[in-house]
Structure 1
């Protein structure tokens, strides 16, 4: 299973990295209703920090910016699963495909944690360098910090290219 296929489906919602029930169902090769039925039958295994239901606003936001293959804005309810919830799903869905997908999902979560940790480490080292070389490289540090900052959704849609100010056309009247 391609790593990108899993990585692109992990969302950050309410400060937690989660996967949508519809995306998990597709990865596991089952229908979403079957996955949700299995969860409902084993609800005691899925406390709120393992699985929660999205609000309408969260559904709309994901459907606008998400990469899910399902048209979410028409869904009535969507459950999302944290890393622990995905691990718990392995005890509920026992097909060979579900086991293999679960292993890959766990690896994707580990990669994300490593990426976040390395980013935090890089930020810490940059601050130490800033203190040491203060004013000498101020512009360089500002440029690096700008490159490290997360991309704002509004910035993605920003128009790029050169813009000129509209100048009034020179008058065509001749002076005598």
Structure 2
């Protein structure tokens, strides 16, 4: 199979996002998907990584375990283990994706990596704004709970007032009684 040249300007953002997975509490991309996007064979990508292994610490790249692959298959993140080419794939974090482009040294890899990094940044921004919204909603819920308690107190006072009316003094002029 020859190198696939992909025009990165026509790769929809949704396609790139669909290749970003959440594993081990971080966003990752699998080597096979990256190889496809970079226009190289997965085995060539892995070879370059192995030649430059010192550039890929564990927070840049790690190899998936059998259990993680099984989980991804069961959650339909990947169609089957065969989709991975028979070996346990490498997972690349945001930093690993950027380093991979430097190792591959192709213009396509650089351009695709830039798009992917931009998506990682967008996802992070969305997560932050989502967290901020969640905090605002929690504040509103607390206010509503407090309002509910205050309304309950007011109704209790109304109930007490209705059940135990105090005798009222008569208002107005007192007319003396005639004898």
TM-score (norm 1): 0.72
Q: Measure how far apart 1:73 and its partner are.
A: 6.7
What is the distance in 2 between the residues matched to 1:29 and 1:69? 21
Q: For each residue in 1:28-79, what CA deviation from the matched residue of structure 2 results, as whole angstroms up to 9, or x when unmatched?
A: 1110000000000000000011000111010111123244477347623211
Q: Which residue of 2 aligns with 1:17?
A: 27
**Contact conserved, 1:59 with 1:73, CA < 8 A, in 2?**
no
Larger Rg: 2
Deviations 1:81-105 (A, max 9, x none): 0001011112101111111100110
* Map 1:26-105 → 2, pairs under 5 A: 26-68=36-78, 71-72=82-83, 75-105=86-116
CA distance in 1, matches of 2:38, 2:79: 14
Change over 3 Å in CA distance of 1:46–1:66 after alignment to 2: farther
Uncovered stretches (5+) of structure 1, i.e. residues with no partner: 138-176
**Structure 1 pair 80/17, CA: closer, same or farther in 2 (3 Å)?**
same
**Is 2:49–2:103's contact at 8 Å kept on the other side of the alignment?**
yes
Q: Deviations over 1:117-137 (max 9, x none)?
A: 111001100011011111768
Aligned-pair RMSD on alpha carbons?
1.9
Secondary structure, aligned partner of 1:127: helix
CA contact (8 A) 1:63 1:73 kept: no
Aligned residues: 137
| Structure with greater proportional helix content | 2
CA gap 1:78/1:6 in 2 versus in 1, 3 angstroms: same
SS at match of 2:28: strand
